Amino acid sequence: MAFHKLKLFYKKMTISFLLPGPSIYPAGGYKVIFEYANRLAQEGYKVNVVYAGSLFWRKKSILFKLSAIARYLQKRWVGFSSDWFSFHPNVQEHLTYSLNYRHVPISDIYICSTPFTAMYMNSYPIKQNSKFYFIQGYENWGGINDDQLKETYRFPCNKIAVSKWLADIVKSEGEDCPVIPNGFDFTQFKCSIPISERPDNIIGIVYSPIQCKGFKYGYEALILAHKQRADLKVIMFGTDLEPENLPKWITYIRCPDTNQINEIYNNISIFVAPSIQEGWGLTVGEAMICGAAVVCSNNKGYLEMSQDGITALVSPVCDSKVMASNILKLMSDSLLRQKIALNGMNNIKQFTIDKSFLLMKKSLGIK
Protein backbone atom coordinates (compact mmCIF):
# COMPACT_ATOMS: atom_id res chain seq x y z
CA MET A 1 0.00 0.00 0.00
CA ALA A 2 1.36 3.43 -0.96
CA PHE A 3 2.05 5.82 1.90
CA HIS A 4 -0.26 8.78 1.47
CA LYS A 5 0.36 12.36 2.50
CA LEU A 6 -2.25 14.79 3.70
CA LYS A 7 -1.65 18.36 2.55
CA LEU A 8 -2.12 21.16 5.01
CA PHE A 9 -4.63 23.72 3.76
CA TYR A 10 -4.93 25.71 6.97
CA LYS A 11 -3.01 25.97 10.19
CA LYS A 12 -5.81 25.20 12.63
CA MET A 13 -6.12 21.58 11.58
CA THR A 14 -7.58 19.22 14.19
CA ILE A 15 -5.62 16.10 15.14
CA SER A 16 -6.96 13.40 17.48
CA PHE A 17 -4.95 10.70 19.24
CA LEU A 18 -7.04 7.62 20.12
CA LEU A 19 -6.04 5.85 23.34
CA PRO A 20 -7.54 2.76 25.03
CA GLY A 21 -8.13 4.57 28.32
CA PRO A 22 -6.71 7.14 30.75
CA SER A 23 -3.40 6.47 32.50
CA ILE A 24 -3.23 7.82 36.03
CA TYR A 25 0.46 6.87 36.30
CA PRO A 26 3.34 7.66 33.94
CA ALA A 27 3.55 5.26 30.99
CA GLY A 28 6.21 5.36 28.29
CA GLY A 29 3.93 4.97 25.28
CA TYR A 30 1.53 7.60 26.56
CA LYS A 31 4.37 9.99 27.32
CA VAL A 32 5.62 9.76 23.73
CA ILE A 33 2.15 10.53 22.36
CA PHE A 34 1.62 13.38 24.82
CA GLU A 35 4.94 14.96 23.78
CA TYR A 36 3.88 14.91 20.14
CA ALA A 37 0.47 16.30 21.11
CA ASN A 38 2.09 19.21 22.94
CA ARG A 39 4.44 20.05 20.10
CA LEU A 40 1.63 19.98 17.56
CA ALA A 41 -0.41 22.24 19.82
CA GLN A 42 2.50 24.66 20.18
CA GLU A 43 2.50 25.03 16.40
CA GLY A 44 -1.14 26.04 16.33
CA TYR A 45 -2.94 22.75 15.70
CA LYS A 46 -5.98 21.82 17.71
CA VAL A 47 -5.18 18.50 19.37
CA ASN A 48 -7.49 16.02 21.08
CA VAL A 49 -6.33 13.18 23.31
CA VAL A 50 -9.29 10.80 23.34
CA TYR A 51 -9.59 8.06 25.96
CA ALA A 52 -12.02 5.17 25.58
CA GLY A 53 -14.35 4.62 28.51
CA SER A 54 -14.82 1.05 27.28
CA LEU A 55 -13.64 -1.17 24.43
CA PHE A 56 -15.92 -3.46 22.40
CA TRP A 57 -18.81 -3.08 24.81
CA ARG A 58 -21.20 -5.38 22.96
CA LYS A 59 -18.85 -8.35 23.29
CA LYS A 60 -18.65 -8.13 27.08
CA SER A 61 -20.67 -9.95 29.75
CA ILE A 62 -23.46 -8.25 31.69
CA LEU A 63 -21.29 -8.17 34.82
CA PHE A 64 -18.45 -6.52 32.92
CA LYS A 65 -20.83 -3.96 31.40
CA LEU A 66 -22.16 -3.00 34.83
CA SER A 67 -18.66 -2.58 36.23
CA ALA A 68 -17.62 -0.61 33.11
CA ILE A 69 -20.53 1.79 33.62
CA ALA A 70 -19.49 2.28 37.23
CA ARG A 71 -15.85 2.93 36.26
CA TYR A 72 -16.89 5.34 33.53
CA LEU A 73 -19.12 7.35 35.88
CA GLN A 74 -16.41 7.34 38.54
CA LYS A 75 -13.86 8.77 36.10
CA ARG A 76 -16.39 11.38 35.02
CA TRP A 77 -16.96 12.34 38.65
CA VAL A 78 -13.43 12.07 40.08
CA GLY A 79 -11.54 13.06 36.95
CA PHE A 80 -9.62 11.28 34.22
CA SER A 81 -6.87 13.73 33.27
CA SER A 82 -3.28 12.46 33.21
CA ASP A 83 -2.08 14.75 35.99
CA TRP A 84 1.47 13.46 35.74
CA PHE A 85 1.87 15.25 32.41
CA SER A 86 1.54 18.97 31.72
CA PHE A 87 -0.48 19.56 28.55
CA HIS A 88 -0.36 22.62 26.31
CA PRO A 89 -3.60 24.69 26.50
CA ASN A 90 -4.43 23.70 22.90
CA VAL A 91 -4.54 20.01 23.88
CA GLN A 92 -7.95 18.82 25.04
CA GLU A 93 -8.45 15.52 26.86
CA HIS A 94 -11.72 13.65 26.26
CA LEU A 95 -13.22 10.60 27.96
CA THR A 96 -15.66 9.03 25.52
CA TYR A 97 -18.10 6.20 26.08
CA SER A 98 -16.29 4.32 23.32
CA LEU A 99 -14.08 5.07 20.33
CA ASN A 100 -16.93 4.65 17.86
CA TYR A 101 -16.78 7.37 15.23
CA ARG A 102 -19.87 9.18 16.54
CA HIS A 103 -18.29 9.54 20.00
CA VAL A 104 -14.96 10.97 18.85
CA PRO A 105 -14.35 14.67 18.04
CA ILE A 106 -14.46 15.38 14.30
CA SER A 107 -10.86 15.69 13.13
CA ASP A 108 -8.72 16.08 10.03
CA ILE A 109 -6.26 13.41 11.22
CA TYR A 110 -6.84 10.44 13.54
CA ILE A 111 -3.88 8.63 15.11
CA CYS A 112 -4.42 5.28 16.85
CA SER A 113 -1.72 3.53 18.85
CA THR A 114 -2.86 0.02 19.79
CA PRO A 115 -4.51 -2.94 17.99
CA PHE A 116 -7.83 -2.23 19.72
CA THR A 117 -7.86 1.45 18.84
CA ALA A 118 -6.82 0.52 15.28
CA MET A 119 -9.90 -1.73 15.02
CA TYR A 120 -12.12 1.21 15.90
CA MET A 121 -10.36 3.62 13.55
CA ASN A 122 -10.59 1.08 10.73
CA SER A 123 -14.39 1.44 10.84
CA TYR A 124 -14.37 5.24 10.50
CA PRO A 125 -16.08 6.41 7.27
CA ILE A 126 -13.23 8.70 6.28
CA LYS A 127 -10.45 8.73 3.70
CA GLN A 128 -7.44 6.51 4.20
CA ASN A 129 -5.00 9.42 4.22
CA SER A 130 -6.65 10.77 7.38
CA LYS A 131 -5.90 7.57 9.35
CA PHE A 132 -2.53 6.83 10.99
CA TYR A 133 -1.48 3.81 13.04
CA PHE A 134 1.38 4.69 15.39
CA ILE A 135 2.94 1.33 16.32
CA GLN A 136 4.95 1.42 19.55
CA GLY A 137 5.17 -2.26 20.37
CA TYR A 138 4.31 -5.80 19.26
CA GLU A 139 1.09 -5.96 21.27
CA ASN A 140 0.02 -9.60 20.94
CA TRP A 141 -1.49 -9.66 24.42
CA GLY A 142 -4.66 -8.56 26.21
CA GLY A 143 -6.87 -10.80 24.09
CA ILE A 144 -5.00 -10.22 20.80
CA ASN A 145 -3.10 -13.08 19.15
CA ASP A 146 -0.44 -12.86 16.42
CA ASP A 147 -2.88 -13.32 13.54
CA GLN A 148 -5.26 -10.67 14.84
CA LEU A 149 -2.40 -8.26 15.47
CA LYS A 150 -0.96 -8.68 11.99
CA GLU A 151 -4.42 -8.19 10.51
CA THR A 152 -4.43 -4.70 12.05
CA TYR A 153 -1.12 -4.03 10.28
CA ARG A 154 -2.94 -4.63 6.99
CA PHE A 155 -5.75 -2.17 7.69
CA PRO A 156 -6.06 0.55 5.02
CA CYS A 157 -4.29 3.36 6.86
CA ASN A 158 -0.83 4.88 7.11
CA LYS A 159 1.55 3.10 9.47
CA ILE A 160 4.40 4.56 11.51
CA ALA A 161 6.69 2.50 13.79
CA VAL A 162 9.04 3.61 16.56
CA SER A 163 11.72 1.06 15.67
CA LYS A 164 13.19 -0.79 12.71
CA TRP A 165 12.24 -4.23 14.02
CA LEU A 166 8.56 -3.27 14.30
CA ALA A 167 8.61 -1.66 10.84
CA ASP A 168 10.09 -4.86 9.41
CA ILE A 169 7.14 -6.87 10.75
CA VAL A 170 4.67 -4.43 9.20
CA LYS A 171 6.56 -4.52 5.89
CA SER A 172 6.44 -8.33 5.95
CA GLU A 173 2.65 -7.91 5.76
CA GLY A 174 3.05 -6.00 2.49
CA GLU A 175 2.67 -2.52 4.00
CA ASP A 176 4.83 0.59 3.92
CA CYS A 177 6.00 1.72 7.35
CA PRO A 178 8.39 4.61 8.00
CA VAL A 179 10.40 4.57 11.24
CA ILE A 180 10.32 7.45 13.69
CA PRO A 181 12.62 6.58 16.60
CA ASN A 182 11.49 7.83 19.97
CA GLY A 183 13.35 11.05 20.61
CA PHE A 184 14.53 12.34 23.98
CA ASP A 185 14.21 15.79 25.49
CA PHE A 186 17.75 16.67 26.50
CA THR A 187 16.47 19.54 28.62
CA GLN A 188 14.60 17.09 30.85
CA PHE A 189 17.39 14.53 31.16
CA LYS A 190 21.06 15.42 31.44
CA CYS A 191 24.31 14.28 33.04
CA SER A 192 24.92 16.42 36.13
CA ILE A 193 27.32 14.13 38.05
CA PRO A 194 30.48 13.25 36.09
CA ILE A 195 30.72 9.58 35.16
CA SER A 196 34.21 9.26 36.66
CA GLU A 197 33.06 10.55 40.06
CA ARG A 198 30.35 7.93 40.65
CA PRO A 199 30.87 4.95 42.94
CA ASP A 200 30.90 1.64 41.06
CA ASN A 201 28.47 -0.11 43.42
CA ILE A 202 25.23 1.89 42.95
CA ILE A 203 22.78 0.18 40.56
CA GLY A 204 19.41 1.33 39.23
CA ILE A 205 16.44 -0.70 37.99
CA VAL A 206 12.76 -0.07 37.23
CA TYR A 207 10.19 -2.24 39.02
CA SER A 208 7.18 -3.47 37.05
CA PRO A 209 4.97 -6.51 37.69
CA ILE A 210 4.15 -6.74 33.96
CA GLN A 211 5.65 -10.01 32.74
CA CYS A 212 7.18 -8.67 29.50
CA LYS A 213 9.24 -6.17 31.53
CA GLY A 214 11.32 -9.08 32.83
CA PHE A 215 11.80 -7.65 36.33
CA LYS A 216 12.09 -11.15 37.78
CA TYR A 217 15.29 -11.74 35.82
CA GLY A 218 16.80 -8.36 36.66
CA TYR A 219 16.06 -8.89 40.33
CA GLU A 220 17.59 -12.38 40.24
CA ALA A 221 20.69 -10.90 38.59
CA LEU A 222 21.01 -8.31 41.35
CA ILE A 223 20.68 -11.00 44.05
CA LEU A 224 23.39 -13.08 42.36
CA ALA A 225 25.68 -10.06 42.01
CA HIS A 226 25.15 -9.06 45.64
CA LYS A 227 26.35 -12.48 46.77
CA GLN A 228 29.69 -11.64 45.16
CA ARG A 229 29.73 -7.97 46.12
CA ALA A 230 28.13 -7.29 49.48
CA ASP A 231 28.64 -3.53 48.99
CA LEU A 232 26.22 -3.48 46.03
CA LYS A 233 23.33 -1.07 46.57
CA VAL A 234 20.21 -0.63 44.43
CA ILE A 235 17.88 2.28 43.76
CA MET A 236 14.64 0.80 42.44
CA PHE A 237 11.77 2.92 41.17
CA GLY A 238 8.37 2.45 39.58
CA THR A 239 4.68 3.36 39.67
CA ASP A 240 3.46 0.27 41.56
CA LEU A 241 3.49 -0.37 45.29
CA GLU A 242 6.83 -1.41 46.72
CA PRO A 243 7.46 -5.15 46.29
CA GLU A 244 7.29 -7.13 49.49
CA ASN A 245 10.35 -8.35 51.39
CA LEU A 246 12.96 -6.25 49.63
CA PRO A 247 16.41 -6.60 51.23
CA LYS A 248 17.81 -3.60 53.11
CA TRP A 249 20.36 -2.86 50.38
CA ILE A 250 17.52 -1.94 47.99
CA THR A 251 15.82 1.45 48.24
CA TYR A 252 12.44 1.81 46.52
CA ILE A 253 11.07 5.12 45.24
CA ARG A 254 7.46 5.12 44.09
CA CYS A 255 6.16 7.45 41.37
CA PRO A 256 9.16 9.76 41.13
CA ASP A 257 8.65 12.83 38.97
CA THR A 258 10.94 13.69 36.06
CA ASN A 259 13.37 15.65 38.24
CA GLN A 260 13.61 12.77 40.70
CA ILE A 261 14.15 10.25 37.90
CA ASN A 262 16.91 12.45 36.50
CA GLU A 263 18.48 12.52 39.96
CA ILE A 264 18.26 8.72 40.27
CA TYR A 265 19.98 8.19 36.92
CA ASN A 266 22.75 10.58 37.96
CA ASN A 267 23.32 8.89 41.31
CA ILE A 268 23.73 5.38 39.87
CA SER A 269 26.73 4.04 38.02
CA ILE A 270 24.93 1.14 36.29
CA PHE A 271 21.38 0.80 35.01
CA VAL A 272 19.87 -2.68 34.64
CA ALA A 273 17.20 -3.19 31.95
CA PRO A 274 15.89 -6.79 31.81
CA SER A 275 12.78 -6.53 29.58
CA ILE A 276 11.74 -9.56 27.55
CA GLN A 277 10.20 -7.37 24.88
CA GLU A 278 10.20 -3.63 24.19
CA GLY A 279 9.10 -1.65 21.19
CA TRP A 280 11.89 0.79 21.95
CA GLY A 281 12.94 1.18 25.59
CA LEU A 282 12.81 4.75 26.87
CA THR A 283 14.47 4.09 30.22
CA VAL A 284 17.63 2.73 28.56
CA GLY A 285 18.00 5.94 26.57
CA GLU A 286 17.26 8.13 29.58
CA ALA A 287 19.90 6.32 31.64
CA MET A 288 22.45 6.73 28.84
CA ILE A 289 21.78 10.47 28.62
CA CYS A 290 22.43 10.79 32.35
CA GLY A 291 25.73 8.89 32.26
CA ALA A 292 24.78 5.47 33.62
CA ALA A 293 26.42 2.42 32.04
CA VAL A 294 23.68 0.13 30.75
CA VAL A 295 23.41 -3.61 31.38
CA CYS A 296 20.45 -4.88 29.38
CA SER A 297 18.80 -7.87 27.74
CA ASN A 298 19.00 -8.37 23.99
CA ASN A 299 15.36 -7.67 23.20
CA LYS A 300 14.99 -5.99 19.81
CA GLY A 301 13.86 -2.65 21.18
CA TYR A 302 16.96 -2.18 23.32
CA LEU A 303 19.20 -3.23 20.44
CA GLU A 304 18.10 -0.14 18.50
CA MET A 305 20.28 1.80 20.98
CA SER A 306 22.55 -0.81 22.57
CA GLN A 307 25.57 -2.48 20.98
CA ASP A 308 27.20 -5.13 23.16
CA GLY A 309 30.60 -4.13 24.50
CA ILE A 310 30.32 -0.63 23.05
CA THR A 311 27.24 1.24 24.33
CA ALA A 312 26.05 -1.45 26.78
CA LEU A 313 26.77 -4.93 28.10
CA VAL A 314 24.06 -7.13 26.63
CA SER A 315 22.82 -10.52 27.84
CA PRO A 316 20.28 -12.99 26.42
CA VAL A 317 16.65 -12.36 27.39
CA CYS A 318 15.72 -14.11 30.69
CA ASP A 319 19.35 -14.99 31.47
CA SER A 320 19.92 -13.77 35.02
CA LYS A 321 23.38 -15.35 35.34
CA VAL A 322 24.90 -13.56 32.35
CA MET A 323 23.24 -10.30 33.41
CA ALA A 324 24.73 -10.70 36.91
CA SER A 325 28.14 -11.38 35.36
CA ASN A 326 27.86 -8.18 33.31
CA ILE A 327 26.93 -6.18 36.42
CA LEU A 328 29.94 -7.53 38.29
CA LYS A 329 32.19 -6.86 35.29
CA LEU A 330 31.32 -3.17 35.33
CA MET A 331 31.52 -2.96 39.12
CA SER A 332 35.04 -4.39 39.12
CA ASP A 333 36.37 -2.45 36.12
CA SER A 334 35.84 1.28 36.53
CA LEU A 335 37.50 2.15 33.22
CA LEU A 336 35.21 -0.24 31.32
CA ARG A 337 32.16 1.19 33.10
CA GLN A 338 33.18 4.72 32.20
CA LYS A 339 33.87 3.72 28.59
CA ILE A 340 30.46 2.05 28.20
CA ALA A 341 28.70 4.99 29.85
CA LEU A 342 30.48 7.59 27.70
CA ASN A 343 29.85 5.64 24.49
CA GLY A 344 26.18 5.29 25.41
CA MET A 345 25.90 8.99 26.19
CA ASN A 346 27.45 9.97 22.86
CA ASN A 347 25.42 7.48 20.83
CA ILE A 348 22.06 8.47 22.30
CA LYS A 349 22.55 12.10 21.25
CA GLN A 350 21.33 11.22 17.74
CA PHE A 351 17.81 10.52 19.08
CA THR A 352 16.37 13.96 19.77
CA ILE A 353 12.70 14.82 20.20
CA ASP A 354 13.14 17.73 17.77
CA LYS A 355 14.32 15.39 15.00
CA SER A 356 11.56 12.87 15.74
CA PHE A 357 8.91 15.61 15.68
CA LEU A 358 10.06 16.78 12.25
CA LEU A 359 9.80 13.19 11.01
CA MET A 360 6.34 12.87 12.54
CA LYS A 361 5.09 16.00 10.80
CA LYS A 362 6.52 14.76 7.51
CA SER A 363 4.76 11.40 7.92
CA LEU A 364 1.48 13.12 8.75
CA GLY A 365 1.89 15.30 5.66
CA ILE A 366 1.88 18.59 7.56
CA LYS A 367 4.47 21.35 7.71
Predicted confidence (pLDDT) per residue in 27-54, tens digit = 999 999 999 999 999 999 999 999 998 7
Q: Are residues 148 and 201 in the same domain?
A: no
pLDDT per position as a tens digit, 194-241:
999 999 999 999 999 999 999 999 999 999 999 999 999 999 999 999
CATH number at residue 236: 3.40.50.2000
Q: Are residues 234 and 175 in the same domain?
A: no
Q: Are residues 145 and 237 in the same domain?
A: no
Angle at which helices 282-289 and 28-42 cross, to 10°: 70
46-to-13, 56, 60, 108, 154 alpha-carbon distances in Å: 6, 28, 34, 10, 29
CB proximity list for 281: less than 8 A, separation 6 or greater: 273, 275, 296, 299, 301, 302, 304, 305
Q: Are residues 141 and 36 in the same domain?
A: yes
Q: What is the DSSP letter of 298?
A: -
CB proximity list for 247: less than 8 A, separation 6 or greater: 226
Q: Give this prediction's pTM.
A: 0.90
Give the pLDDT mean for 274-282.
Answer: 97
Round to whole Å and give the CA distance between 305 and 360: 20
Round to whole Å and give the CA distance between 101 and 50: 12
Residue 3 located in a structural domain: no
Q: Are residues 162 and 219 in the same domain?
A: no
Question: Could you list the residue range(s) of the whole structural domain that residue 128 is in?
Answer: 14-183+353-364
Neighbours of 308 (CB within 10 A): 14
Q: Are residues 83 and 159 in the same domain?
A: yes
CB proximity list for 42: less than 8 A, separation 6 or greater: 88, 90
Residue 189 located in a structural domain: no
Q: Residue 204's closest CA among 110, 287, 305, 131?
A: 287
Q: Are residues 267 and 339 in the same domain?
A: yes
Q: For residue 46, give the amino acid letter.
A: K
> Is residue 232 a contact partner of residue 331, using CB atoms and an 8 Å limit?
yes
Residue 190 located in a structural domain: no
Residue 56 located in a structural domain: yes
